[in-house]
Amino acid sequence: MDISRTHLIEDLNSSMEGQDVVFGGWIVDLRKLGKMAFLTIRDVTGMCQVIVKGDSMNLLEGLNRQSVVRITGKVQASKAKDFDFEIAASEIQILAKAEYPLPIDPIGRLESDIDNRLNSRALDMRNQKTASIFKLRHHVLSSIRETLSKEKFIEITTPKIIGSASEGGANLFGLDYFGNQAYLAQSPQLYKEQMTIGLERVFEISGFYRAEKSHTGRHLSEFTSVDIEAAFMDYTDVMNVLEKLIVDVFRKTSEKCKIEQEHIGNQIKVPDSPFERITYSQALDELKNDDIKLEFGDDLMDSHLRILGDNHPEFYFLTDWPMKLKPFYIHEKDDDPTLSRSFDLQHGYLELSSGGRRLHDPEQLKARLKEQELDPANFSDHLESFGWGMPPHSGWGLGLDRLMTVLIGIDNVREVVLYPRDPDRLKP
Ligand code: ATP
Ligand code: MN
């Protein structure tokens, strides 16, 4: 059976009048009007109208919505208001039948809730709005790769199955590895730091795993992280890289993805830069004005971030956190060792990224591990590499799924992840 096509739907146009074409796709709509019928056909690139009449009416036998067809026909001018051309079909071949009824309405005319859509996720991709989210995600990824490659970062892939509970071990999924205890990586932190000793600037875009029993719109057990690490850069340098990456993502997708923005119903607005930079101490002062009394060293809870988010609804950096709130590998400030060379990138209340300058002195790192009650023996491979000429370095991790929600203007990461994993969802 011939399944080839001569054209994608986006390649068909009114200047092709009289031309014979073969194309394929799904039947979105089928309307019989006496001795004529109109079909709307979609492929991943768009939709077009097919007209059937006269002797050809027998071609309609056995056709139903959402079945896959291959159509042979001639391009002609159309009187329809939504289409300026149509295809007069001479042959309609059914390649696969869709069952009836389908679990969700794939056109989205009948709104299905997110749970039902996730249960039939592949079918949900036939909804233009959902498909547009994942087309945008594709463009976001390619923009990120382009920006980082230009800045001389090299893309790496680190292991996701790891043998020791790095970074303290909270929130790790454990698994049996041929009789030994192993874990799923929660970040590429230690590996990406090690890579700076030879590759200097590295990045990774990958899934990571956190056993968080959270039921929020911003936490999943499996999420995609964009990570960088760079030798000879301080924390302000990698903040600049992050800012450029974000602005590039918004600018490129706003220019390239016009149709997707229309389907989603959201106009992408390129953010103003430079982003505002607020220190942790300034944030405490700001909260004091709202009668929130926090001591130096207290963590900012969700309720505090909501207030800061009301004051700063766009992108901003929260910098110079107390050392005690940051992980063991973070570097202190020269003028005040209780403060760290660290930052979070926020969008309103939402944390998008954490990063900072790292310790590169092995003795300091060992001391800090003990201070945080971690056993240096569990980090022996990592510490060993610090004796091989570890350059001063900085980096960050950015939650790609959270960034997508900001780009699209929604508040649930489940919308932008194909098959989200959370405490209640392991299938499909
Ligand atoms: P939060 O406090 O919001 O749980 P975190 O500080 O624990 O985040 P980091 O360890 O700093 O997270 O990870 C870097 C980034 O990765 C976060 O800023 C966030 O964008 C993303 N991220 C972390 N955990 C998750 C998760 N469970 N689901 C989705 N994204 C996540
Ligand atoms: Mn963080």
| Ligand 1, atom nearest to 212 Cα | 27
Q: What is the CATH number of the domain that holds 64?
A: 2.40.50.140
Residue 109 lies in a domain: no
Are 139 and 85 within one domain? Answer: no
Residues forming beta bridges with residue 357, ordered by sequence position: 394
- Measured in Å, residue 314 CA sits from the centre of ligand 2 at 18
b/e map 338-361, b = 16+ CB within 10 Å? ebbbbbbbbbbbbebbbbbbbbbe
**Residue 168 pLDDT grade (very low, low, confident, very high; cuts 50, 70, 90):** low
Q: How far apart are the CA of 358 and the centre of ligand 1, in A?
A: 18
- Are 31 and 49 in contact by the 8 Å Cβ rule? The answer is no
Q: Of 221, 402, 425, which is best to mutate to test ligand 1, by the most ligand atoms within 8 angstroms of its C-beta? A: 402
Across 43-47, 162-166, 314-318, least confident range: 162-166
Same-domain pairing of 411 and 283: yes
- Looking at the fold, whether 290 and 214 belong to one and the same domain comes out as yes
Q: Which ligand 1 atom is at minimum distance from the Cα of 225?
A: 16
Is 113 within the bounds of a domain?
no
Q: Are residues 48 and 180 in the same domain?
A: no
Q: Give yes or no: residues 38 and 128 share one domain.
A: no
Ligand closest to the CA atom of residue 222: 1
From 96, 111, 142, the end of a domain falls on 96
Locate the ligand 1 atom nearest the alpha carbon of residue 350 and give its number.
Answer: 3
Are 176 and 230 members of one domain?
Answer: yes
Average pLDDT over residues 185-213: 97
pLDDT tens for 334-351 read 999 999 999 999 999 999
Please check the confidence at residue 202 and state whether its pLDDT lies above 80: yes
Is 135 found in the same domain as 42?
no
pLDDT of 286-335, one tens digit each?
999 999 999 999 999 999 999 999 999 999 999 999 999 999 999 999 99
Mean pLDDT of 349-372: 97
User: What pLDDT was estimated at residue 297?
Assistant: 97
CA-nearest residue, atom 27 of ligand 1? 219
Distance CA(182)–CA(176), nearest Å, equals: 6
Q: Answer yes or no: are the C-beta atoms of 163 and 381 closer than 8 Å.
A: no
Query: Residue 365 carries which DSSP code?
Result: H
Do 76 and 135 share a domain, yes or no? no
CA of 186 to the centre of ligand 1 (A): 10
Query: Could you tell me if 86 and 139 lie in one domain?
Result: no
Q: d(Cα 368, Cα 359) in Å, to the nearest integer?
A: 9
* Domains of the chain: total: 2
pTM summary value: 0.96
Question: Residue 195 Cα, ligand 2 centroid: separation in angstroms?
Answer: 22
373 within a domain of the structure (yes/no)? yes
Q: If you measure from the C-alpha of residue 354 to the centroid of ligand 2, how many angstroms do you get, rounded to a whole number? A: 4
- Is pLDDT at 127 greater than 80 in this prediction? yes
Give me ligand 2 centre to Cα 212, in Å.
14
Closest ligand 1 atom to residue 397 Cα is 14
Q: Whose CA is nearest to atom 16 of ligand 1?
A: 399
Tell me the CATH number at 144. Answer: 3.30.930.10
Same domain, 136 and 76: no
Query: Is the pLDDT reported for residue 167 higher than 80?
Result: no
* pLDDT score at 111: 85
Q: Could you report the per-residue pLDDT of 141-162, keeping only the tens digit for each? A: 999 999 999 999 999 999 999 9
**Binning pLDDT at 50, 70 and 90, where does residue 169 land?**
low
pLDDT at 327: 95
Instruction: Give bridge partners of residue 180 from the DSSP assignment.
Output: 177
Q: At 139, is the secondary structure helix, strand, or coil?
A: helix
In a domain, 105, yes or no: no
Identify whether residues 406 and 309 lie together within a single domain.
yes
- Residue 1 in any domain: the answer is no
> How close is the Cα of 99 to the center of ligand 2, in Å?
46
Residues 139 and 229 in one domain: yes
> Average model confidence (pLDDT) for the chain?
96
Tens digit of pLDDT for each residue in 76-87?
999 988 899 999
Token duo for residue 398: 């950015």
- Residue 344's alpha-carbon distances to 50, 131, 215, in angstroms, are 53, 31, 22
In a domain, 75, yes or no: yes
104 is a domain residue: no
Please compute the mean of the pLDDT values over residues 52-70 and round it to a whole number.
Answer: 94
Q: Which ligand is nearest to the CA of 321?
A: 2
Q: Is 379 strand, coil or helix? A: helix
353 CA → ligand 2 middle, Å = 6
Q: How many angstroms is it from 49 CA to the middle of ligand 1?
A: 46
Domain of 307 in residue numbering reads as 122-416
Q: Which atom, in ligand 1's list, is nearest to the CA of 345? A: 18
In whole angstroms, how far apart are CA 229 and each of 143, 315, 386? 18, 22, 15
Q: Which pLDDT score is estimated for 28?
A: 96
Closest residue CA from atom 20 of ligand 1:
399
Ligand 1: residues within 6 Å at CB? Answer: 210, 212, 219-220, 223, 225, 351-354, 397, 399, 401-402, 413
Residue 402 CA: nearest ligand 1 atom is 20
pLDDT of 285 over the 90 cut: yes
| Ligand positioned closest to the Cα atom of 218 | 1
Position 111 in a domain: no
pLDDT (average), residues 274-296 = 97
